Structure 1
Amino acid sequence: MQDATPPEPRLLKNRSRLGHKLRYALTHPQRIVPHLRRAARDCRLRLKHRGDHVGFYRAVMASDTARSPEAAVGGVPSHARWLAIGQMQYDYLVAHGLRPEDRMLEIGCGNLRAGWRFIEHLEPGHYYGIDISPDILIEAKKTVVRYGLQRKLPYLTPVDDLKLDFLPDAAFTVVHAHSVFSHSPLEVIDECLAHVGRVLAPGGFFDFTYDRTEGHEHHVLGEDFYYRTETLVRLAAKHGLVAHFMDDWERLPHGQSKLRLTHPVAAS
């Protein structure tokens, strides 16, 4: 771990530009038709949920979950990959201090790709998962049953924003969000960071991943968002949180970057 200074630039290209799309299409012709179908679907959903990104992405998740619950969470191509990405998240957090006695909030828990391992590791009642998609939370409940984790009493709750106003102060020693901010416009991230410090216990930490760019910040189809690290670091500071760039996370096979936020006292 180091202070929020990322390593060498990883992404300079702007995936929203027509030139990039044409070059990508020429090298991946088999993906043209699926992309056009997704673009048409997203256009229809954006018109239906105009100005409401959470409503739009909830509809995206409903559509994706209906086709494949596992693919809906990060677009994983197989069950083996779904398991591997969950294992990677779990191993990383355990190596970085996740203890059975911790109280954990997972933002965007999905169908518990990593969550079932967290639930198994933590003491009963110490895992709280939230997601904007009721459809994916139904799949999360099925995951709890599949792995026999009922005795662990996990909490799974749908939300319609990231204000976290229904949760008590300083309730969680660990907050985790994997592939959430990579699908969020800046105002949604700002809302989360404005409130997560209240529910984060002293000495606790909030880990989140994001799609990092060292070039122009942009999005693709209103689904995938690319941010400069300094943008998120400044946003965290605005809300009284200190950011650390997790450089060892960069060496893992996942494609995203990770920041850890703490209260200032814990960072001193």
Structure 2
Amino acid sequence: MTELTGPARTHTNRASLSHKIRYAVQNPDRVRPYLRRLARDCSLRLTTRDHVAYYRAVMKADAATSPSAAVGSASHERWLALGQMQFDYLIRHGLTSKDRMLEIGCGNLRAGWRFIDYLDVGHYYGIDISPEILLAAGDTLVQQRLQDKRPHLSLVRDLRLAALPDAYFTVVHAHSVFSHSPIEVIDECLAHIGRVMAPNAFFDFTYNRTDGTEHHVLREDFYYRTGTLTALAETHGLTARPMEDWDQLPHKQSKIRITL
């Protein structure tokens, strides 16, 4: 699930047999890792009750090897670069130290530690479904000596956001969360996100964009048309627009901004 540089959209159905054969021929070194993922997928389908439980197990396995790899960074340098890119983007879009920020899928604070450092004390809330990655987030907090900023880091069982206050957050951020989520999980989040957003707040999320057939690969990577996600947001009374300037950055995912 490493995030690579490249175009932010694809016409390719990565789940198709023809693509798999072509990819295997062109990248023989990736065949064995793929087969390991396939075996894990088969096992987790039998032992988990829903997608959140499924992906929590994926994160547990990946975090045991490398927390940075678990959040999609192949190296520490890439981890730093992706975090910096997310931070710089929101600064350009008006993030201020006074904002109250919710990061959905905060991971091991790849971008979060920069937000914590920048925001006023207590203004950062990070949630994640993985206890292992939240332990790694605590390690990042210690390494960056940010304990005095008193961030809130919470484990959640779903994306209903039930424990969070009404109309509180001025900025909501979810990087590489919906790219690993089936449509029902995205719908659940969009159904509840408006309740926790303050007036004039915005919610940015990234996703794997396809201009072809919507599909998933091993229930870990999901590809959506932009129109599918913007229409889904509108069913919950939200306004959604693609962030085209994000597509110019060295990242394979696209971004949508939600407002009330």
TM range (shorter): over 0.9
Distance 1:99 1:213 in 2: 33
Contact 1:9 1:214 in 2 (8 A): no
Give 1:10 deviation, angstroms.
3.1
Q: 2:207 aligns with which of 207, 210, 213?
A: 210
Q: Which residue of structure 2 aligns with residue 13 of structure 1?
A: 12
Normalising by the residue count of structure 2, what TM-score does the alignment of the two structures yield? Answer: 0.96
Partner in structure 1 of residue 242 of structure 2: 245
Maintained 8 Å contact 2:10/2:212: yes
Q: Percent identity?
A: 67
Segments of structure 2 that go 5 or more residues without pairing to the other structure are 1-6
Cα distance in 2 for partners of 1:9, 1:202 equals 30
After the TM superposition, list the runs of 4 or more consecutive aligned residues in structure 1 that deviate by more than 2 angstroms: none
2:204/2:258 contact within 8 Å kept: yes
Instruction: Report 1:228-267 matches (<5 A).
Output: 228-263=225-260
1:194 CA displacement: 0.1
The structure 1 residue matched to 2:55, chosen from 46, 57, 75, is 57
Superposed counterparts of 1:110-259, under 5 Å? 110-259=107-256
CA displacement, residues 74-129 of structure 1 (integer Å, 9 cap, x when unaligned): 1x211000000000000000110110000000000000000000000100000000
Q: What amino acid sits opposite 1:44 in the alignment? A: S
* SS at structure 2 position matched to 1:205: strand
CA distance in structure 1 between the aligned counterparts of 2:226 and 2:121, rounded to whole angstroms: 36
- Distance in 1 (CA, whole Å) between partners of 2:254 and 2:167 is 26
| The one of 67, 78, 99 aligned to 2:65 | 67
Q: Distance in 2 between matches of 1:29 and 1:189?
A: 34
Gaps of 5+ in 1: 1-7, 264-268
- In the alignment, is the contact (CA less than 8 A) between 2:83 and 2:110 conserved in 1? yes
Report the equivalent of 1:3.
Answer: none
CA drift at 1:9: 8.9
Aligned-partner Cα distance in 2 for 1:99–1:125:
14
2:4 counterpart residue number: none
CA RMSD of aligned residues (A): 1.0
CA distance in 1, matches of 2:67, 2:42: 22
- How much does 1:250 deviate? 0.3
Indicate the residue corresponding to 1:28 in structure 2: 27
Count of residues in correspondence between the two structures = 254
